[in-house]
Amino acid sequence: MKFAHLFLLVLLPAATALATPPGGEASAPAAKGASSHVMLDASKIAWGDVPPFLPPGAQFKAISGDPSKPGGMFVVRLKVPAGYRVPRHWHPNDEHVTIIEGTVKLDMGSGSDTHASQLEAGDYVLLPAHMQHEATAQTAAVVQIHGASPFEINYVDPKDDPRNGTPGDSD
C-alpha cells in the first residue's frame, strides 16, 4: 500500500505538469452553462458608452455574458474619470465589485447602518441584493462588476436616475 501512495505522489505532479500550458496556470474547468471561452487582453478592450441606467461620462464593456438577459451570469467593466459618481442605488441581485485600477469611495448601507470605505486597485467588495450604496471615483478608475443577470440599478431618488432626464435636457 505504501508503494501505491508513493507512486501517486510521483505521478500526480508529472500529470499536472503535462496538463499545464507552458508558462501558465492550469485552466479551470468551464463553468456550468458557460457559453464560450473568454480571455481578455485588457489593453485591447473596445470601450463603449455606458448603458442608459448609468450617468454619462464613463465607458463600459461587457466582458462575459449578457447583463441584460435574466438567468445568466455576467462580467462587465466600467472605466471612469476622477469624480465620476453613481448616485445612491440598489440592485435586486448581489453585486461583486473588484477595483482593477484607481481608487473608489463606496458609501454603503442605510439609516444607522451607513458606512464608507475607500477601495484601491485589487480590492473586492460584495454588496448584497437590496443594499443601498453609491460610488465616487477618487481617481480615474477601472471597476469590474460581476453577478447574476439581469444587472439592474434602482436609484433611491428618482431624480438621480439618468433614464428620467435632468432639468434642461431636451428630448
CA trace torsion 48, 74, 99, 26 (10° rounding): -110
In-domain check, residue 67: yes
* Residue scoring higher pLDDT (63 or 18): 63
| Residue 88 near residue 55, CB atoms below 8 Å | no
In-domain check, residue 41: no
Helix (H, G, I), strand (E, B) or coil at 99: strand
**CA-based diameter of the chain, in Å?**
81
Spatial separation of the C-alpha atoms in residues 133 and 97, rounded to whole Å: 12
What's the pLDDT score for residue 5?
45
In-domain check, residue 61: yes
State pTM to two decimals.
0.75
Q: What CATH number does residue 85 fall under?
A: 2.60.120.10
The mean per-residue pLDDT over the stretch 63-85 comes to 96
Q: Which amino acid is at 40?
A: L
pLDDT at 89 over 60: yes
In-domain check, residue 4: no
Closest CA to 33 of 66, 60, 4: 66
Q: Please give the share of the chain, as a percent, with pLDDT higher than 90.
A: 69
pLDDT at 75 over 90: yes
In-domain check, residue 89: yes
Domain count, the chain: 1
In-domain check, residue 130: yes
pLDDT tens for 92-129 read 999 999 999 999 999 998 888 889 999 999 999 999 99
In-domain check, residue 69: yes
Range of the domain at 109: 46-160
Spatial separation of the C-alpha atoms in residues 57 and 123, rounded to whole Å: 23
What's the pLDDT score for residue 95?
97
